[in-house]
Amino acid sequence: MNYKKSYFKLTVLFVLFFAACSEAPEINNETMLDGDQIFDPSLYNPEDYLVSLSVENPTEIQKNTPVLITVHGYSASTFEWDEFREYSTINANILISQVLLGGHGRTYEAFKESTWKDWQNPILAEYNALRSKGYTNINFAGSSTACPLVLDLIKEGKIGENGMKNIFLIDPIVIPSDKLLTLVGLVGPMLGYFESTNTAVEDLYYYRFRPQETLNELLDLIDKVRKDLQKGYLLPTNTNMKVYKSIKDDTADAVSAVLIYKGLKNSDGTPINVEMLDSQLHVVTRLEGRENVTQKDREIQQQVFDDMLTILMQ
Amino acid sequence: MKKKHYLFLLFITSFMCIQSQNRKTQNDWLGEFKVGVRVQKTQKLYWENGLTVDFTSPKILKNRLHLGLSYVSSRFGSAMGSNAIKQDNFLINAGYFFRHQKKLQPFGRLNTGFFYADYESEIFDVLPNTALLLSLDAGFSYQFDAPITLQISTGYNLNTGTGSAGPGTLFPVFYQLSLYYTLFK
């Protein structure tokens, strides 16, 4: 009798477990990046986005012009840096490479199968391509997850001495704001994916559904970077860094900036430059597609853009 | 920060004085008084280690209710010789222990107290670095034949940092191991 009761309880548990396991998300192919109809435009015309492809044989002037590799965050696409590109086209003489992270800008399935190393590969590929073409003034600007990806490249020595002049980090994520992310390994397999609250415009450029596998990858990445920062390391010689961090951010906890400030120093051992922004937006440099954008948000965005361009043109 | 350490010491001293005074006036009031060390690991974050005391009384739920104080800090864990954030947890707790006359005792505990993180640079003065702690933990206690008790537990912080409020390095899940020496019984 007891055996039968135990068997019944076990069966109920299994049924509950599998019932809790979510099915595939309901993707609208016509309105969501997650589907099989909308892809990042850089996949169709990479030469419009990557300086290494757009200029076959750069002149000496072009080789010495600042090139900024801009990289978006987790679940985003090249769209995240469109506003900066438009602003800098009017206000400065720089070249911009808008890099699409691996596994991004494609389908939900492609995203699900990608690892954080896959996300990172196109950054290094564009950096190496620019170096091999003779560009001497290479710079980097990353938002959110792009930041731990480039921090890892620095730590692993893949960006060497005199390799990059300036690195700008916008709302780097080392510590997530949603602390339940630390439990994704436990609850993720039951849920399958997490749904974000995108606006209709954001649905075109950001994955709405986040596979638990990719959240585990994100967690692995930031865990590695946090441990590297804990041990401490230096920027390459002649590379400067500036971190811009919103003080209230529901994606990348502001304490991420503290960890970077403590763990990463200039090559001469002096502290890196950090500016705390009086903003409540994650990645204030991208405002298009958001709801309820204020004048203050626009002012902060312009202030950051101007600051970056001033540093780049020095 | 020194003030907080002095306050904590004062708190422990007062607690022990009250114990001894009570012992003089009411010998049957005191059950067990244990002091020990605690090792704590937060899921996906730091090791935080420190000291802990535990007290029971036959007059409070017949020794089943354990009252305690503890101080754990990354200063004695992950932040030793590294760039981890120095953070302190000052806690008082009340735990209910089952099978209290047996060697192996399952228990559940409610903890509250104060959290402080030292960001070290004035750039980060705009960020919250203190919080009221509120957590639950549950585990097992094992009383050895010698006056030694081992406790292991898993806990959950109810008041974690959210990005908009609260210190960012206050994470939800933690694991504890405490080793006590029974001072008197």
Find chain B residues with C-beta within 8 A of A176's C-beta. Answer: 163
* Greatest Cα-to-Cα distance within chain A, rounded to the nearest angstrom: 86
Question: Which range is least confidently modeled, A89-98, A125-134, A257-266, B9-18?
Answer: B9-18
Query: Which residue has better confidence, A25 or A12?
Result: A25
Provide residues of B within 8 Å CB-CB of chain A: 43-45, 78, 82-85, 117, 119-121, 123-124, 126-127, 160-164, 167-173
Query: Is the distance from CB of B69 to CB of A249 less than 8 angstroms?
Result: no
Q: What is the pLDDT of residue B12?
A: 55
Distance from CA of B162 to the nearest CA of A (A): 5
- CA separation for the pair A55, A129 (Å, rounded): 11
If pLDDT is split at 50, 70 and 90, which confidence band does A13 have?
low
Whether the predicted pLDDT of A214 surpasses 80: yes
- CA separation for the pair A52, B112 (Å, rounded): 57
Nearest by CB to B127, which of A178, A232, A255? A255
- Give the whole-number percent of chain A exceeding pLDDT 70: 93
Q: What is the pLDDT of residue B10?
A: 53
Question: b vs e for A49-63, b when ≥16 Cβ sit within 10 Å of the residue's Cβ?
Answer: bbbbeebeebeeeee
Q: Is the ipTM of this complex over 0.85?
A: yes
Q: Give me the mean pLDDT over the A123-142 stretch.
A: 97
Distance from CA of A281 to the nearest CA of B (A): 10
Nearest CA in chain B to A232: B83
Cβ–Cβ gap A254/B163 under 8 Å: yes
Tokens of A1: 């009798």
Q: Give me the mean pLDDT over the A146-164 stretch.
A: 95
Nearest CA in chain B to A275: B123
Q: pTM of the entire structure?
A: 0.89
Q: Which residues contact A247 (CB under 8 A, 6 or more apart)?
A: A254, A276, A277, A278, A279, A280, B126, B127
Q: Give me the mean pLDDT over the A120-142 stretch.
A: 97
Q: What share of chain A is helix, strand, coil (3-state, %, to 5)?
A: 45, 15, 40
Q: Which residues contact A157 (CB under 8 A, 6 or more apart)?
A: none
Cβ–Cβ gap B163/A274 under 8 Å: no
Find chain A residues with C-beta within 8 A of B44's C-beta. Answer: 182, 219, 223
Q: What is the pLDDT of residue A200?
A: 97
Q: What is the pLDDT of residue A199?
A: 96
- CA separation for the pair B179, B144 (Å, rounded): 11
Q: What is the pLDDT of residue B124?
A: 97
Q: What is the pLDDT of residue B29?
A: 76
Cβ–Cβ gap B162/A177 under 8 Å: yes
Provide residues of A within 8 Å CB-CB of chain B: 175-180, 182-183, 219, 223, 229-232, 247-259, 261-263, 271, 274, 276, 278, 280
- CA separation for the pair A57, A297 (Å, rounded): 40
Residues of chain B with pLDDT under 50: 1, 17
Whether the predicted pLDDT of A73 surpasses 90: yes
If pLDDT is split at 50, 70 and 90, which confidence band does A1 have?
very low
Q: Which residues contact A117 (CB under 8 A, 6 or more apart)?
A: none
